[in-house]
A and B are shown apart, each in its own frame.
Chain A
Amino acid sequence: MNQGKVTYKPTDEVDFVIVGSGAAGGVLAKELSSNGFRIVVLEQGPYLTAADFSHNEIDVFIRHQLTNNPKLQPVTFRKTPQDKAKLQPSIMYGRCVGGSSVHFTANFWRFHEIDFVERTKVGEIPGANFVDWPITYNDLERYYTKVEWEVGISGLAGASPFDPPRSKPYPMPPLPVKGSGVVFERAARKLGYHPFPAPMAILSQPRPGRSACINCGFCLGFGCEVGAKSTSLSAMIPVAEATGRCEIRPNCYVHRIETNKNGHATGVIYFDAKRNAHLQKAKAVILCANGAETPRLLLLSASSQFPNGLANSSGVVGKNLMPNSAAIAYGVFDEPLNDYKGFAVSRVFHDFYELDHDKVGFYGGGGLDARFDFTPAGFALSALPPGTPKWGREFKKALHQNFTRTFEIFCHGTSLPVESNSFSLDPDVKDDWGLPALCMTYRDHPNDLKMMEWMKDRAMEVLDAAGAKTKWHAPIEEQQFAVHLLGTCRMGNDPKTSVINTDHRTHDVPNLFLCDGSSLVTSGRGQPTMTIQALAFRAADRITALAKRGEITS
């Protein structure tokens, strides 16, 4: 499998070392190696391929085959900086080549124009550290298009009247509709909304070396065994490796960025699978380690020269964490939907993308989708109506009647940036390698909770209009678990209030770049991966231009 692929020695000074092979790292590896640069990608997790992926829930959910393992990498949680944090699994991210794109739902919405300029439009919001992006939707449009065509997105252009302008249609038609999609679409239309085929990072038509979706039903949480899910692993890494200039080096846990006396990065230090430490030398370093591990790595790289952590003269590293808000409503229907077949989502509507603050009394917006994303065991443990007995004949009867007849309406929405919501280094807890563990401090802005209450009510109305015979919703409560890790090294023009500039270059270290969920300035409406990848394509162009002008030196 590895025949003919390039390998570098840690002592080889490559052009770029990229930390993380997920949504952003995969794109940057592909783009920069295609542009002629010599690249090493260091990934903390294993290099699995489609042939390694299975439907084995124990491997995936219990043994953490594809994700961070809370036993090896503990995380502590607290609501406010005044609280003492306690051990609590509070984040999940992909820990394998391809990162979180391997196991994600694959909902793939572009951000809209408003997401980039909302602070100006809405004004100040008390308790929020809300700012505009230094770039606009127009700056990103061509890169959104590039993601859709190169990574492989199914969808129908122009199907939503709320969609932002686009320069090209989707490269392939939407995936087939599911029963949940039909029921949701009819009900939403009855209420005057505009449901449309969900844009998904899953192939509806085959591409070289990749199958179209075979509707196996083991999608969210699982790796795709036929390469239909459009992940960095299936779509970007193979192209990067085929250049002959890019080495993907798995099982490498980077824990420090080295700098020289000029304050420039010289490479990164990592533990290999046997926990031996190495320094990979590089002319420049790009962190794509996700919105939790990228700030952690900067904080772990503190030195006498950079006492608050690398690239942290602003003190903003790790702050303004936005996990997106969410609400879920469930409905049970008379006839079998059999929604366990296929991918998770086939219909969505964006009528609430930008809510009128004066009308609803809070800021924000989002989208609603119809989905089923449970395995049978997951369903039995978490998706039966409240009050259903937990064991015995009635439990079994409910499983029998409901499994094929249930779907969820998932409401995705904004999170406001709040300065105290953050990732920092826990002062006491260490990971299995002896390094300071992540501490997550998080409490939803009250506005976000109000919005989720409101969205949940709309979802319940849709279930009513759909004729659900039973319906209920998950309680709206303060979140303590984050999957979307956004905003923690935000982009901006002012070095005092942001970590990277519009080239993704850190304000403080000229040959250190960051690109992943941490770069986001606002949270969008709940589907960040598309924007992370568009930013990565754009960052690759910017970084290539800087390098070609000789402006990147170690």
Chain B
Amino acid sequence: MKTYQPARRDFLLQTSAIVGAAWMSAQWPAVIAAAQHAHAAANAQTPPKFEVLAPEQARQVQAVASQIIPTDDLPGAREAGVVYFIDRALKTFASDSWQTYREGLTHLNQLTAMKYPGISSFADATPEQQETVMTELVAEPPKGESHRRIGPGDSDDFFQTIRVHTVFGFLADPSAGGNREYAGWKVVERDPAHTFSPPFGYYDKDYPGWQASSPETDKK
């Protein structure tokens, strides 16, 4: 997979086209520094060492995340490094969720063993078997309270919690520690550039400019 490298020259060209040379000459060092900081964070490899998850738990989390966002011809949770994001989250902003994970992962193994005797870990089941077990897990009534403003740690339910963490680890700006090599943004087709100029998409590319309403539409 190709790593996205923001070209400083491209950044300057795009930006100066919008804001004008005078402003840029005064301000560009700070703007460039901010953009480069974000991109450096994006490209820093999280050390492949888990701080919270035991190796077996990491395998399970990886398997669950890969069920939530599977890999096909486009990258999935695995390629985005979601498991590393989650491990980091459990060490930091989502440390309150650790209990929910521990219990949830144990429960998931129990569901797996009941459905497929002889398989004691969700991570050892085939992807098809995992999908069946996930379907059972998701069908269970949610545990605990989920608040209106969704955020990691706001729910005691294992599926809700790991789903929110997986989505953030897959799609958040890489400065937050996930979405490696913009894997998630490839899926949603978000251009990783830091600045944009119009036209932005299909519908505004032939826009003639704003005009006042025509007489027949003017009913006021």
A interface residues with partner B (beta carbon < 8 Å)? 50-51, 53-59, 61-63, 88-89, 156, 159, 161-162, 174, 176-179, 181-183, 185, 189, 192-194, 196-197, 206, 209, 211-218, 225-226, 333, 335-342, 375-377, 379-382, 390-393, 395-396, 399-400, 403-404, 480-481
Contact = CB atoms under 8 A, between A and B. Distances in A.
B15 to A, nearest CB: 6
B200 A338 contact: yes
A487 to B, nearest CB: 23
A393 B18 CA distance: 39
Contacts of B200: 176, 178-179, 215, 337-339, 341-342
| Prevailing SS type, chain B contact patch | loop
Contacts of B172: 56-58, 375-377
A340 B173 CA distance: 13
Given A55-B173, A159-B210, A400-B189, A214 B203 contact: no
Interface of B: 15, 18-20, 22-23, 26-27, 30-31, 33-34, 37-38, 67-70, 72, 74, 76, 89, 93-94, 131, 134, 138, 147-153, 163-164, 167-168, 170-173, 175-177, 184-185, 187-191, 194-198, 200-204, 207, 210, 212-214, 217-220
A491 B188 CA distance: 48
Pick the 5 closest A-B CB pairs, nearest first: A335-B202, A338-B201, A403-B188, A55-B173, A206-B23
A376 B196 contact: no
A400 B74 contact: yes
A213 to B, nearest CB: 8
A50 B34 CA distance: 9
A391 B68 contact: yes
Contacts of A336: 189, 201-202
Contacts of A174: 210
Given A196-B210, A395-B68, 9 more contacts: A57-B176, A189-B217, A194-B218, A214-B196, A336-B189, A336-B201, A342-B196, A342-B198, A404-B189
Given A51-B30, A381-B164, A375 B212 contact: no
Nearest to A334: B202
Contacts, number: 207
Residue from the set B31, B68, B172, B201 with the largest chain A CB neighbour count within 10 Å: B201
Contacts of A197: 210
Contact of A57 (B38, B168, B187): B168
Nearest to A206: B23
Given A216-B194, A400-B74, A55 B152 contact: no
Contacts of B18: 212-215
Nearest to B198: A176
A183 B198 CA distance: 15
B220 A88 contact: no
A194 B151 contact: no
Given A376-B190, A403-B188, A404-B189, A182 B69 contact: no
Contacts of B38: 54-55
Nearest to A376: B171
29 contacts: A51-B33, A51-B34, A57-B168, A61-B151, A89-B147, A161-B213, A162-B220, A177-B204, A182-B207, A194-B220, A206-B22, A213-B18, A215-B196, A215-B200, A216-B195, A218-B173, A335-B201, A336-B202, A375-B172, A377-B168, A379-B171, A390-B163, A391-B67, A391-B138, A391-B163, A392-B70, A395-B69, A396-B70, A396-B72
A337 B203 contact: yes
Residue from the set B31, B172, B194 with the largest chain A CB neighbour count within 10 Å: B172
A56 B176 contact: yes
A159 B93 CA distance: 46
Nearest to B150: A381
B168 to A, nearest CB: 5
